[in-house]
Structure 1
């Protein structure tokens, strides 16, 4: 979680400074692409604040109202961030680009645009490297897309996507300004703004889908479920682990519920002691499992049928 906060604070500091300089350059030059990039960085600044809020609120201890804690706060605010990127970042950039195409104005002196874009590229590039390192700490040997799909740390992959779109957006903005000057055609600037909007809408769609899935409740992967079943059945008192259900309440907080068939000759006290042993073995191997519940059932029966 510390790596997530490092990436967030780095991105926040970079975007706060960059958004101000982009708007100043846009005001001086009248560049549509620079206005879109300024909006992009401003939205990203707000997003980092919301993600930090989500991380903070997710750490609140469980209470009577939320007996399993507030871990999903992080997923909720990540979903809000995705909606903001879509509606504010993408929507306004598209509007600005279309307006510029309808009423094109040539950028007279792009000097300040190039200066700001260069500074922003260095700062956003550093922020992207920081986010990439934080993401790689948890990625392991998975491919990039598999790691994103399997990641339960919404803050980290959200910042990674934001920073990557920042760098791509800067390249698009630079090309829009540069080509507009080379061909003396202001339409390139407006087209760059539209492309930035499309980029943000696409990123928002991916983030919304991943955050929604986590918010609705994802379980552990099949391999982890298999290992949990094996740990349960390794206890001599168990005949079979009939059904396992898990759900992520946060990146490092999993709740486990399972139906277990115990040996027929066990007393109630022996079954209770076996459940304690099984839970201890599971939580030792998987520290992220904070809550475990075992329901004794008859062979072929599950608690869902009751």
Structure 2
């Protein structure tokens, strides 16, 4: 399951977005701005999404039982995918619809200064939430670039909030420009255009999030560097003649399953093989805290190949 850092990131975003959403809706009702209404929808969706992620973290933390012997760690992947759907269907869809409606019936934004004040305050809150998410993401990304770090991350709760907050920051800028240019150029249609652009930003964020969480849902292995490290640990053991196969699967952000088929030296006794298996399991778990379960099979290379062909 995800760590305390993930929960801290989500709670910070939830607190900020809930306050921002109420303020944006009030400003939209007072001024009649479509862009501001879209931003209110955006913040409301983000608030609901963060509540879903917290719920997902709680569900994922449940211990294993007979029905789910490997635990519930993957629940966080499911709820992150639901978040992606909500961003696309509700956030992007409503924003785009509101923009089209404003283009069909353009009207000037009244008391635009109210929107500017609200957008400025929202930018401060969003920047704070974004910084918390970014700092946690930077701490966990290692040597990877930012986009690559999202691709290889096994904890969707962190990069989901980071994507949401990034989209929120861009949306605030677009809303400000749409309202400001519409007022300065006497073109109220630009308010509707801004709403549609916000919808496009949300759609792109949702598509990226859905793509990344889909891979986690269907099952992703450990990072290649970790898989190679585990292979090195196994291969270096004096009892190991050959590694037939080493497979890994993430059951959750910090729950890695490792299965290994090993061809041990033929001169070893059964007791020697049992001792080697116990020692390898201990070394593999010590290599990375995410490794929770290790299954080692003693099998000759020839038998393993025959079994593989039969499959």
What TM-score, normalized to structure 2? Answer: 0.96
Match of 1:76 in 2: 78
Q: Distance in 1 between matches of 2:73 and 2:110?
A: 51
Q: Distance in 2 between matches of 1:60 and 1:261?
A: 36
One of 82, 93, 96 as aligned partner of 1:94: 96
Q: Say if 2:116 is the partner of 1:118.
A: no
Q: Is the 8 A contact 2:231 2:246 kept in 1?
A: yes
Give the paired residue count: 306
Q: Distance in 2 between matches of 1:268 and 1:98?
A: 73
Question: How far does the alpha carbon of each residue in 1:135-180 deviate from its partner, in whole angstroms, 9 at most, with x for none?
Answer: 0110122111111111111000000000011110000000000000
SS in 1 for 2:251: strand
TM-superposed CA distance for 1:268, in Å, is: 2.4
One of 137, 140, 149 as aligned partner of 1:138: 140
Match of 1:182 in 2: 184
Alignment of 1:10-159 (within 5 A): 10-159=12-161
Match of 2:212 in 1: 210
TM-superposed CA distance for 1:61, in Å, is: 0.6
TM-superposed CA distance for 1:90, in Å, is: 0.4
SS in 2 for 1:87: helix
SS in 2 for 1:104: coil
State the superposition RMSD in angstroms.
1.0
SS in 2 for 1:126: helix
Which stretch shifts more, 284-293 or 25-34?
A: 284-293
TM-superposed CA distance for 1:32, in Å, is: 0.4
Question: How far does the alpha carbon of each residue in 1:172-203 deviate from its partner, in whole angstroms, 9 at most, with x for none?
Answer: 00000000000011110000000000000000
TM-superposed CA distance for 1:108, in Å, is: 2.3
Match of 1:278 in 2: 280
Match of 1:263 in 2: 265
Q: Distance in 1 between matches of 2:76 and 2:123?
A: 28
TM-superposed CA distance for 1:305, in Å, is: 4.2
TM-superposed CA distance for 1:304, in Å, is: 3.6
TM-superposed CA distance for 1:116, in Å, is: 0.6
Q: Is the 8 A contact 2:25 2:36 kept in 1?
A: yes
SS in 1 for 2:14: helix
Match of 1:172 in 2: 174
Q: Distance in 1 between matches of 2:201 and 2:26?
A: 23
Question: How far does the alpha carbon of each residue in 1:106-151 deviate from its partner, in whole angstroms, 9 at most, with x for none?
Answer: 1122011111101100000110001001101101221111111111
One of 193, 196, 202 as aligned partner of 2:195: 193
Where in structure 1 do 4 or more consecutive aligned residues deviate above 3 Å? 302-306
Q: Distance in 2 between matches of 1:224 and 1:125?
A: 34
Q: Is the 8 A contact 2:248 2:256 kept in 1?
A: yes
What TM-score, normalized to structure 1? Answer: 0.98
TM-superposed CA distance for 1:269, in Å, is: 2.6
SS in 2 for 1:270: helix
SS in 1 for 2:301: coil
Q: Say if 2:225 is the partner of 1:238.
A: no
